[in-house]
Amino acid sequence: MADFIPHTESETREMLDLLGLDTIEDLLSVFSQSMPASGPPDLSPLGGGKDERALMEWFSSRGDRNLSSSRAVVFRGAGAYDHFIPAAVSALVGRGEFLTSYTPYQPEASQGLLQAIFEFQTAIARLYGMDLANASLYDGATALAEAVLVAVRETERSVVLLSEGIDPEYRSVVETYLEGMSVRVEVIPLEGGKTSRSALGKSVGPNVACFVGATPTFLGTIDQFEGVSDLLHEAGGLFIIHANPHCLALMKSPGEWGADLATGEGQPLGLPLSSGGPYLGLLSARKKFVRRIPGRLAGLTKDREGRQCFVLTLQAREQHIRREKANSNICSNETLLALQALVYMSLLGPEGLRRAAAGSWSNAHDLCSRLRTIPGVSLVNPDADFFHEFVLELPLEADDLSRHLLQNGILGGLPLGALLGPAWGRRMLWCATEVRSETEIARTVEIVRHYLVH
Amino acid sequence: MEPTLWQKSRPGARGVFPPGVPPEIFETRCPEGLRRESPLSLPELSELDVVRHFTRLSHLNRGVDTHFYPLGSCTMKYNPKIMDRIPEIAGFRDLHPRIAPEGMQGLLESLYTLEELLGHLLGMEAVTLAPAAGAHGELTGILIARRYFESRGDRGRTEILIPDSAHGTNPASAAMGGFSVRVLPSGNDGGVDLAHLEEALSERTALVMMTVPSTLGIFEKDLLKMVAMVKASGALLYMDGANFNAFMGLLRPGDLGFDIVHINTHKTLATPHGGGGPGSGPVGVKAHLAPFLPSPRIRKEGERFSLVSPKTSIGPIRSFIGSSLVLLRALGYLQMLGAEGVRRVALYALLNANYLRARLSGTLPRTGSGLCAHEFVLSAKELGAEGLHASDLAKEILDAGYYAPTISFPLIVPEAMMIEPTETESKETLDRFAEDFRKIVERARSNPSRVKEAPRRTPVSRPDEVSAARDPVLADPASLRAL
């Protein structure tokens, strides 16, 4: 049994003596008055403890029961992407000075993280084409929900318009976050993979707090937002875009589309698939919303000797100061993952990011055009451009093909029936990133062809 | 100090060469209106430049690995290195969250095991691992309470009672959940005052949120009476389990009568804080609240695990199943400790806190009396006569080679210094800290102007926080010059 307690028996004795106690069990008197009738708990389910070797054996054997990318080639995205991650990322992020530190409340002893947060904010603001970004939120879905809350507070209005292009699970998270408020969510449909302008035009009105668009959409299409910013602003609402940061190396940014706020899931920036988390919520904004947005902010300043340094700033927005009037309840965020994304972006640089994004775009288009040659397979939304994901209509149930592919060591496109309803039962959301090889693509296409044709 | 990435950027410098293709392919085939027009202002550096930059930044940062970190309320204990290996197992690290349950049986089994262990430790019938942090767990618990009262057709319960000593996240979460907050003033001993509680409880009360032990590091002596009063009013009881390290394996929130509890894996269960996150905030509830837990839920049938989304659920509170790689570390920690280790952790957390409390007696007055729990609070108010604040002492503590205690919290103690040593610190470290602390307080009395100048031994002296907030610079100006 290991417990990481460094005391020797004689030290424990000396400490108890100073306190005038006979045994360490005497400390239980701190809650003797609170001891429930049931008495002390039965801890037997916790077992007898494990040594390091036994522990790793337990976890390794559980890991072997998962079909990770080491055992199934990933052609699935839908919010979690298999990208290249340089070795230097984990080497730097795993340093104990970062890993085992707390929120940098004492700036003089936390300059390393404060500077990294400041640099992360800068990189995200530049990538999204916005003035500023915060130090992170939990994940893409909660970042989107928090951005919606900013719009609701800023406008004091009660209708939120969400594009159908937003991941339906993100939409559910937004609805959960709005559970306690009198706010109505309305979905603006996609037409051919792009936001329906007529539907948006009809819905925008004096009660609308914001419209949230997504690009690429959940279905992979690149949405277009000409005039959307003006439409919203004339009606007094805000325009929010949720965008994949990997694609933004090449794709028109939320800032260029005129968004007021932008959110994203930072996982594609150097975070492994991670069994779903921890991920990284991105939130960026125009300068005028700086006192409205949630989450920590690191700012540039000078010390007493006039040296460049960094501090947490504008904390009057946060829960530890404002309590029930705070912009959000968030305290712990995803700083280490923000550092990870920053290290990734620094290692690749602008050219590397563009190269990787172009690789994803190119592989996905290659995969799509090959799969479309299979009889009975067609591209849904053929008139919309896509980035690295696309939806195919199949001649049979997508679940059946998915199962067959998994048996052949391939995590194929995501069957959409479970998420979007029975009408989508034969549709599959495919993805190819820059790491997929020609061989993997060719083999996958042949297995699909064989399964569908025979 | 280290220049920023943009200050060091050299146009044309190349770092890691990733898989991919030249971007011109995209640019020739993708319609112009969809392409990024503005240049991408990210730093251009070699791989070695980047490695040196972040290595230097790490040298400007203190963690548990480098310094004693007596940051009250944060439980900065040692994060065992073996747990760093678990998230590196390819079967977990590289697992896609949208794979069908048959492809994630090992993950589901591990998380289910953690849910069960936490259920045992908390005395709760059901546990969700979904919340990404403690505050996220609070919001989850509050939304569960909302659904519970709705399910009973009780729509009049719109108020949450919260002691004035609570973490700021409590009232902030209550407001996000759509409730109004009624603050419970503390009594003279810093505990919840029974008369105030009685007066505040009504048919409007949905939830009473209590931190146990309180943020003063004290177990409320009337806890069981309070629980009975709240139950009698028909409200639910929520425990902020941020201080679980004081009683893990010794007492169970469920046995005490609490309906909902969240804990922080990045405190009690030794997962690293990572400079502010990632954390994880599992929530345990009694059986009558289990139907409302966030989706998806892990279900076990025979030896098979699946994911389900019950209709009664409050819905998802985040994407995917949870912060899996954090949760697996927490599971590893509990498995390593076993029954005996879990108990020893809490007992030694109590021992270390009480030992340090005793060693510091006579320096500054403590709020509270008798034994403390896993932490204690001193007040530096009397140094106000010398023009000093708790924050000034904190800077001297940094100079002495430690991280500083939590200052200015809880809000009910003027010039608070909240000290939590945790069980993983040795007697030698506590002795040395006590001696240094005593000298610092003496110096504050004899030479206050010197203390105002601290710290001197850190990479920078005190930053100008006022001008940082007046005209905030939140992105590197050098990143715009590059355009």
Residue A379's CATH number: 3.90.1150.10
CB-defined contacts A:B, below 8 A: 748
Give all strands (DSSP E) within B81-137, no chain letters.
126-128
Q: Which residues lie across from B211 on neighbouring strands?
A: B240
Separation in Å, CA A428 to CA A66, A67, A76, A393, B96 = 22, 19, 10, 7, 16
Give contacts of B323 with chain A, Cβ < 8 Å.
277-278
Query: If you classify domain B82-337 with CATH, what class do you get?
Result: alpha beta
- Residue A187: inside a domain: yes
CA angle, corner A310, sides to A305 and A316, nearest 5? Answer: 115
B-chain residue closest to A170, CA distance: B319
Tell me if B376 sits within 8 A of B349, measured CB to CB: no
Q: Report d(CA B173, CA B177) in Å as an integer.
A: 6
Q: Is residue A44 part of a domain?
A: no
Contact A41 B120 (CB under 8 A): yes
CB A262 within 8 A of CB A240: yes
DSSP B18-87: -S---THHHHHHS-GGGB--S--------HHHHHHHHHHHHHTB--TTTS---BTTS------THHHHGG
Task: Write out chain B residues lying below 8 Å of A52, CB-based.
Answer: 82, 336
Tell me whether residues B42 and A411 touch, CB distance under 8 A. Answer: no
Q: Chain A partners of B314 at a C-beta cutoff of 8 Å? A: 176, 179
Tell me how far apart the alpha carbons of residues B168 and A329 are, in angstroms, rounded to a whole number.
8
Together in a domain, A186 and A255? yes
Q: In whole angstroms, what is the distance from residue B3 CA to residue B24 CA?
A: 33
Domain segments of chain B: what residues?
A: 5-60, 82-337, 341-468
Interface residue B80 vs chain A (CB under 8 A): yes
- At B178 the three-state DSSP class reads coil
Residue pair B159/B204 in contact by the 8 Å Cβ criterion: yes
Rg of chain B over CA atoms, in angstroms? 25
- Would you say residue A137 lies in a domain? yes
The CATH number linked to A203 is 3.40.640.10
Burial readout B134-172 (b: 16 or more C-beta within 10 A, e: otherwise)? bbbbbbbbbbbbbbbbeeeeeeebebbbbbbbbbbbbbb
Min Cα separation A381/chain B (Å): 16
pLDDT digits (tens, 9 = 90+) for B79-124: 999 999 999 999 999 999 999 999 999 999 999 999 999 999 999 9
How many residues are given for chain A? Answer: 454
State whether A359 and A308 are in the same domain: no
d(CA A366, CA A380): 16
Closest-CA distance, A350 to chain B, in angstroms, reads 5
Domain identity same for A286 and A150: yes
Distance CA B335, CA B467 (A): 49
- Which residue among B84, B90, B219 places its CB closest to the CB of A94? B84
Work out the number of other CB atoms within 10 angstroms of the CB of residue B196: 17
pLDDT over 70 at B421, yes or no: yes
Statement to judge: residues A422 and A338 lie in one domain: no
**What is the three-class DSSP state of B311?**
coil
How confident is the model over A261-284, as a mean pLDDT? Answer: 98
**What pLDDT, on a 0 to 100 scale, did the predictor assign at position A454?**
76
Q: Check pLDDT > 60 for residue B441.
A: yes
Domain limit, last residue, from A344, A376, A411:
A344
- pLDDT of B191: 85
User: What is the C-alpha separation between B296 and B128, in angstroms, rounded?
Assistant: 9
Kindly report, residue by residue over A63-121, the tens digit of the pLDDT.
999 999 888 999 999 999 999 999 999 999 999 999 999 999 999 999 999 999 999 99
Q: Indicate the pLDDT class of residue B1, thresholds 50, 70 and 90.
A: confident
Q: Report the mean per-residue pLDDT for chain A.
A: 97
Q: Is residue A148 part of a domain?
A: yes
The CATH number of B341-468 is 3.90.1150.10
Residues of B whose CB is below 8 A from A273: 93-97
At residue A248, the pLDDT reads: 98
A344, A378, A393 - which closes a domain: A344
- Report the alpha-carbon distance of residue A75 to residue A253 in Å, rounded: 25
Distance CA A371, CA A257 (A): 33
Is B168 in contact with A2 (Cβ distance < 8 A)? no
Instruction: Say if A58 falls within a structural domain.
Output: no
Residue B230's pLDDT is 98
Print the SS3 string covering chain A.
CCCCCCCCHHHHHHHHHHHCCCCHHHHHHHHHHHCCCCCCCCCHHHCCCCCHHHHHHHHHHHHCCECCCCCCEECCCCCCCCCCCCHHHHHHHCCHHHHCCCCCCCHHHEHHHHHHHHHHHHHHHHHHCCCEECCCECCHHHHHHHHHHHHHHHHCCCEEEEECCCCHHHHHHHHHHCCCCCCEEEEECEECCEECHHHHHHHCCCCEEEEEEEECCCCCECCCCCCHHHHHHHCCCEEEEEECCCHHHCECCCCCCCCCEEEEECCCCCCCCHHHCCCCEEEEECHHHCCCCCCCCEEEEEECCCCEEEEECCHHHCHHHHHHHCCCCCCCCCHHHHHHHHHHHHHHHHHHHHHHHHHHHHHHHHHHHHHCCCCCCEECCCCCCECCEEEEECCCCHHHHHHHHHHCCEECCEECHHHHCHHHCCEEEEECCCCCCHHHHHHHHHHHHHHHHC
DSSP state of B186: B
Tell me whether residue A159 is in a domain: yes
In a domain, A180, yes or no: yes
Looking at every residue in chain B, the average pLDDT score rounds to 96
Dist. CA B59–CA A230, nearest whole Å: 48
Phi-psi domain of A418 (left: phi exceeds 0; alpha: psi -120 through 50; beta: other): alpha
Residues of chain A contacting B132 with CB distance shorter than 8 Å: 138-139, 142, 277-278, 332, 334
- Once rounded to an integer, what is the mean pLDDT over residues A246-257? 98
Q: Please indicate, yes or no, whether residues A209 and A288 belong to a single structural domain of this protein.
A: yes
Same domain, A314 and A356: no
**Span B301-324, pLDDT tens digits:** 999 999 999 999 999 999 999 999
Interface of B with A in 42-71 (CB under 8 A): 42-45, 47, 50-51, 53-67, 69, 71
Question: What b/e string do you get for B405-414 counting C-beta neighbours within 10 Å, with b at 16 or more?
Answer: bbbbbbebbe
* Closest chain A C-alpha to B442 CA, distance in angstroms: 22
Span A194-214, pLDDT tens digits: 999 999 999 999 999 999 999
Mutate to test the interface with B, among A59, A221, A224 (most CBs of B within 10 A): A59
Residue B88 CA: distances (Å) to CA of A65, A79, B78, B328: 15, 21, 19, 11
Q: A262 and A307: one domain?
A: yes
Place of tokens 């957390």: B349
Query: Which residues of A fall within a CB distance of 8 Å from B352?
Result: 15
- What residues in A contact B118, CB-CB < 8 Å? none
* A329 interaction partners in chain B (CB closer than 8 Å): 135-136, 138-139, 169, 172-173, 175-176
Q: Does one domain contain both A258 and A179? A: yes
* B32 vs A: CB within 8 A: no
Question: What is the Cα Rg of chain A in Å?
Answer: 26
What is the distance between the alpha carbons of residues B86 and B107, in angstroms, rounded to a whole number?
12
A202/A123 same-domain check: yes
Burial of A423 (0-12, 13-18, 19+ CB in 10 A): exposed
State how far the Cα of A352 lies from the Cα of B18, in Å rounded to an integer: 6
CB A210 within 8 A of CB A231: no
Give the chain B residue nearest A249 (alpha carbons): B40
Q: Answer whether A106's CB lies under 8 Å from B459's CB.
A: no
Number of folded domains in chain A? Answer: 2
Residue B372 tokens read as 């403390």
Yes or no, beta carbons of A60 and B168 under 8 Å apart:
no
Q: Do A101 and B472 touch (CB under 8 A)?
A: no
A117 within domain boundaries: yes
Q: Indicate whether B157 pLDDT > 80.
A: yes
Burial class (CB in 10 A: 0-12, 13-18, 19+), A87: exposed
What single string gives the DSSP state of each residue in B74-87? S------THHHHGG
pLDDT at residue B18 in the model: 97
Averaged pLDDT for residues B137-146: 98
pLDDT at res. B482: 57
A425, A289: one domain: no
pLDDT at A440 (0 to 100): 98
Pairing assessment for the beta strands A238-243 and B260-263 based on DSSP bridges? unpaired
C-beta contacts of B29-35 below 8 A and 24+ residues apart: B29/A365, B30/A250, B30/A361, B30/A385, B31/A385, B33/A224, B33/A226, B33/A252, B34/A222, B34/A224, B34/A251, B34/A252, B34/A385, B35/A250, B35/A251, B35/A252
Domain co-membership, A92 together with A230:
yes
Does B26 sit within 8 Å of A273, measured CB to CB? no
| Residue B380 DSSP symbol | -
Structural domain that includes position A117: 87-344
Does B214 score more than 80 pLDDT? yes
In this structure, are strands A414-415 and A427-431 parallel, antiparallel, or unpaired?
antiparallel
- Using a CB-CB cut-off of 8 Å, the residues of chain A touching B270 are 4
Q: Which of A344, A364, A383 is the last residue of a domain?
A: A344
Beta strand residue intervals within B95-235, DSSP E? 126-128, 159-163, 180-184, 205-211
pLDDT score, position B437: 98
* E strand or H helix at B298: strand B297-301
Residues 6+ apart with CB under 8 A from B414: B379, B381
ipTM higher than 0.90?
yes
Q: Indicate if A175 and A238 belong to the same structural domain.
A: yes
Kindly tell me if the per-residue pLDDT of B136 is higher than 70. yes
pLDDT at A39: 82
pLDDT of residue A36: 84
Min distance A201 CA to chain B CA atoms (Å): 21
Structure tokens at B169: 């996240």
Among positive and negative, which fits the CA dihedral B370, B372, B377, B378? positive
Residue A356 CA to residue A83 CA, distance in Å, equals 9
What per-residue confidence (pLDDT) applies to B221? 86
